[in-house]
Amino acid sequence: MKITFRAAPPMDEVVQFCLETLREKSPVGTAPEDEHPGLYRDSHLIFLNGGVVKDVLGWKRGDTIHVSNPVPYARKIETGRMKMSLPAHVYEQTEQIARARFGNQVSVRLVFMPVRFSGIAAWASFSKLSRAGNAKARRDWLVRQPALLITSR
């Protein structure tokens, strides 16, 4: 009996698959009700060791890859707190699909990572929610966005 092992897919292939799945699952508003239809779908970003990159071709074992979305309402979409006709939990669904596809070759987990740029940082600074209690801790919590953490096994 011959045993064969499948090589782990290149990380760029995994990341691109996750991006495509996130875009497919993302809700898209319609004009004129939505001033920016497709903004959420088109704003998913790749982070390599905390910095935004176009791809992960420079990835090395031990590097951290995240895919997240900096729009201020991304967390509301993920947790189901937005009123939409499409299902929420975009990142959770993508995590499950990626796990089914890549199995034990890579680890894909839903996490909430801090995103401290774009509209999310400004929103967190001026939100009424950041004024209650420990303001710094609240702002840190408010900038946490849903993300996929992708690591090799």
Question: What are 45-81's pLDDT values in tens digits?
Answer: 999 998 999 999 999 998 999 999 988 888 888 988 6
pLDDT at residue 141 in the model: 56
Residue 134 included in any domain: no
DSSP state of 129: G
Q: How many domains does the chain fold into?
A: 1
Task: Kindly indicate the confidence band of residue 124, based on its pLDDT and cuts at 50, 70 and 90.
Answer: very low
**Domain range holding 110?**
11-116+144-152
Query: Angle CA(97)–CA(115)–CA(138) in degrees, nearest 5?
Result: 110
Give 53's Cβ-side CA count (13 Å radius).
17
**Backbone φ, ψ for residue 111 (5° rounding):** -135, 175
Residue 136 lies in a domain: no
Does the pLDDT value for residue 132 go beyond 50? Answer: yes
The residues near 33 (Cβ < 8 Å, ≥ 6 apart) are: none
Task: Flag whether the pTM goes above 0.75.
Answer: yes
